Amino acid sequence: MNHTEKPSDICAHLGDEYDRYLGAIVPPLFQNSLFTCKRQNHGYAYSRVANPTIEILEEKLAALEHAQAARVFSSGIGAITATISSLLQSGDHVISLRSAYYPVTEFLQNEMSKFGVESDFLENFSREELEKAVKPNTKLIYFESPSSNIFKILPIREIGAFAKERGIATAMDNTWATPLYQNPLDLGVDYTIHSATKYLGGHSDVIAGVVAGSKEKMDALRVNERAHWGACIDPFAAWLLIRSLRTLEVRMERHSRNAQQVARFFQAHPKVRRVYYPGLESHEEHELAKHQMRGFSGLISFVLNADKERSMQFVKNLEIFQEGPSWGGFESVVNTPGITSLAEVTRFEGVPDGLIRMSVGLEDAQSLIEDIAQALERL
């Protein structure tokens, strides 16, 4: 794989093989479940195991993440759980981030525990914290950077080095930053994971996940976890993601630019108590973020100078921003994890009361700011 290729060139052309497909500028969709066995030399039999459309997508994603290979799954959580389960067995111990995507915490606590896997959850992933938590049977360190909701920045290179010294595998969710702005494998992580439903898809019309790493690790995931658990991506979803990648770079530039403007507006507004966005100089880990990342995406969080009822009224006052649980699409969406989530979940994750999460979309930045301004004015 030529890692010197520019991301926009990878997204536009890598793996498309125009000569193979009669010069078609868009590779065809292989929307079939099986392949005839009369010809044995093409290497395909059943799409749950391998499919040409899916392989084009995987080649592009591997190159974007500076990986030897990548495997795509039917959802982000499917990619995460496949990775975790491939690395752990009865009697093992895993260390995870306390503020990680909560379904991962639930999977470790409720599902992996059934198979005798022990889990510990850390707040900051400092070396001191890791040294206290690590055990002789620790086999995996799982984390995010930035983390969910409050966007904590973790020292990726230090975590990777700590794990390698002890022969522990590392897996990191890189969804927030995308491969354009951060490459965990280059910083010593073994597995990098994305919910492709978010920015990689970008159009709110596909659900998918991806894992990238060494060829050996990815081959094992395909043969074992994906084939046996059945969390394979549908060829049409893969084709939609290939389409989406063609505009990834221009979309992320707009997401980032819009989010910077919105975050600065919030930061200067008297009705806003705190803004969580690593792209702001005021973020406590901004310097570390700049060191590890090449840019910032469009997801921010904030807390108003208001109680939960008035904070919820702000959300209802918004006109362009729609209320919904996901993010990373073309549209601007707002969610309320610090208002409507279960109290035990927010306490566990360290989500502040009243926290509102905002996915800044591709609309005109001034229109978005005017919408926020009128919603705040009506409080």
Q: How far is 251 from 237, CA to CA, in rounded Å?
A: 19
Q: Is 348 exposed, middle or buried (0-12, 13-18, 19+ CB in 10 A)?
A: middle
In angstroms, the Cα distances linking 147 to 59, 61, 224, 345, 369 are 27, 22, 29, 15, 25
User: Over the stretch 106-133, which tens digit does the pLDDT of each residue have?
Assistant: 999 999 999 999 999 999 899 999 999 9
Residue 371: pLDDT above 50? yes
State the pLDDT at residue 2.
Answer: 46
Query: Looking at residue 90, what DSSP letter applies?
Result: T
Is the full-model pTM beyond 0.85? yes
> Which residues does residue 371 pair with via DSSP β-bridges, in sequence order?
none
State the pLDDT at residue 18.
Answer: 66
Q: How far is 318 from 321, CA to CA, in rounded Å?
A: 6
The CA angle 293-298-302, to the nearest 5 degrees, is: 105
Instruction: Decide if 170 contacts 190 (C-beta within 8 A).
Output: yes
Query: Looking at residue 80, what DSSP letter applies?
Result: H
State the pLDDT at residue 185.
Answer: 99
Q: CB under 8 Å to 85, separation ≥6 — which residues?
A: 112, 225, 229
Q: What percent of the chain has pLDDT over 70?
A: 96
Residue 345: pLDDT above 80? no
Q: What percent of the chain has pLDDT over 90?
A: 79
Residue 213: pLDDT above 60? yes
User: Over the stretch 265-290, which tens digit does the pLDDT of each residue have?
Assistant: 999 999 999 999 999 999 999 999 99
> From the CB of residue 101, how many other CB atoms can be counted at a distance below 10 Å?
20
Return the exposure string of 105-119: e unless at least 16 CB atoms fall within 10 Å of the residue's CB, then b: bebbeeebeeeebbb
> From the CB of residue 130, how many other CB atoms can be counted at a distance below 10 Å?
20
**Residue ranges of domains in the chain, CATH in brackets:** 7-245 (3.40.640.10), 249-377 (3.90.1150.10)
State the pLDDT at residue 177.
Answer: 98
Residue 343: pLDDT above 80? no
Among 79-93, 274-288, 310-324, 330-344, the range scoring the smallest mean pLDDT is 330-344
Across 242-253, average pLDDT = 97
State the pLDDT at residue 132.
Answer: 97
User: Over the stretch 58-117, which tens digit does the pLDDT of each residue have?
Assistant: 999 999 999 999 999 999 999 999 999 999 999 999 999 999 999 999 999 999 999 999
State the pLDDT at residue 1.
Answer: 42
State the pLDDT at residue 147.
Answer: 93
State the pLDDT at residue 160.
Answer: 98
If you write DSSP's letter for every residue of 182-235 in order, what string do you get? --GGGGT-SEEEEETTTTTT-SS----EEEEE-HHHHHHIIIIIIHHH--BPPH
In angstroms, the Cα distances linking 163 to 60, 70, 228 are 28, 22, 29
User: Over the stretch 351-361, which tens digit does the pLDDT of each residue have?
Assistant: 899 999 999 99
State the pLDDT at residue 40.
Answer: 65
The one-letter amino acid at 6: K
User: Over the stretch 14-35, which tens digit does the pLDDT of each residue have?
Assistant: 877 767 777 888 888 999 988 8
In angstroms, the Cα distances linking 279 to 12, 127, 237, 267, 370 are 28, 25, 31, 12, 21
Q: Is 104 exposed, middle or buried (0-12, 13-18, 19+ CB in 10 A)?
A: buried
State the pLDDT at residue 318.
Answer: 98
State the pLDDT at residue 3.
Answer: 46
Q: How confident is the model at residue 12 (pLDDT cuts 50, 70, 90)?
A: confident
Residue 231: pLDDT above 90? no
Q: How confident is the model at residue 261 (pLDDT cuts 50, 70, 90)?
A: very high
Q: How confident is the model at residue 4 (pLDDT cuts 50, 70, 90)?
A: low
Omega before 352 cis (within 30°)?
no
Q: CB under 8 Å to 265, separation ≥6 — which residues?
A: 369, 372, 373
Q: How far is 95 from 360, CA to CA, in rounded Å?
A: 32
